[in-house]
Amino acid sequence: MTNPLIPALDSDDREEVLRWAEALASEAGLLKVGLQAFVAHGPSLITEVAKLAPVFADLKLHDIPNTVAGAARVAAGLGASMVTVHASGGAAMVRAAAQSAPDVDVLAVTVLTSLAADDIQAVGQQPAERQVPQLAALAVEAGAAGIVCSAGEIEAVRAAVGPEPLIVVPGIRPAGAAADDQARTATPAAAMARGASHIVVGRPITQAADPVAAARSITASLRR
């Protein structure tokens, strides 16, 4: 089985991101470059990190289909292996991204793992248990290769999309770790047991005294 761990390299210090990337490349299935690093250092950083390991470009694209299609195509050209779009951008937007970047896995983000039930209600959305499988089915139907959701929704997403699509799960916290701003969390082993194909772990690795040891301990916890 390929390594399911995706460390999130969230920093705007280019040297720090590259240090983490070098140290964690052999401990991870992919390395995630997200908005903070991308806004700070842009396309060249994706290209640099992609020399070390496959890159999950977590750009969470959400715009009109033509704009998202263009951005997804450019991200693919930088060497990213996965790129994210927001499923709530609609089927036409997801389809445009998937069609314009056929060589990368376009993943659709459903509902952010930082949103708790009352936050979801406050922005006028359906509860996660209803909204997430609905968005997942729409996105996969439109050509997404996978879904990003919280651990609590994995089974419902799998039932909605069938066995093939990737299910990438952030909001992962090893037992005893601080939740930070995440609300819908699970341990690495619990998320994998529920059927995640990948787990995204940021601060519990990057803010650890020894990020490599933290990554190894997460991977080891999956074998127990």
| Active centre residues (catalytic) | 60
CB closer to ligand C5P out of 34 and 54: 34
Phi, psi of 101, deg, nearest 5: -130, 65
Asked if 197 is part of the footprint of ligand C5P (rule: CB under 6 A), the reply reads: no
How many beta carbons lie within 10 A of that of residue 36, not counting itself? 16
Q: How many C-beta neighbours within 10 Å does residue 45 have?
A: 21
State the distance between the two ends of the chain, measured CA to CA, in whole angstroms.
15
Residue whose CB is less far from ligand C5P, 98 or 186? 186
- Per CB under 6 A, does 7 bind ligand C5P? no
Which of 4, 5, 8, 18 forms a contact with ligand C5P (CB under 6 A)? 8
User: Given the rule CB under 6 A, which of 45-53, 108-116, 132-140, 215-223 is the region that contacts ligand C5P?
Assistant: 108-116
Q: Does 113 bind ligand C5P (CB under 6 A)?
A: yes
203 scored as a contact of ligand C5P (CB under 6 A): yes
Confirm or reject binding of residue 170 to ligand C5P (CB under 6 A): yes
34 near ligand C5P, rule: CB under 6 A? yes
Work out the burial of residue 124: count CB atoms within 10 Å of its CB; fewer than 13 is exposed, 13-18 middle, 19 or more buried.
Answer: exposed
Binding mask 121-160 for ligand C5P (x = CB under 6 A): ---------------------------x------------
Least separation in angstroms between residue 177's CB and ligand C5P is 9
Residue nearest to ligand C5P (CB): 202
Question: Alpha-carbon distance 61 to 72, whole Å?
Answer: 8
Alpha-carbon torsion, ordered 70, 72, 74, 75, to 10 deg: 160
Q: Helix H segments across 115-196?
A: 117-122, 128-141, 154-161, 188-194
The answer to whether 109 contacts ligand C5P (rule: CB under 6 A) is yes
Residues 6+ apart with CB under 8 A from 4: 29, 192, 196, 197, 198, 199, 222
Q: Which residues bind ligand C5P (CB under 6 A)?
A: 8, 10, 34, 58, 109, 112-113, 148, 170-171, 180, 182, 200-203
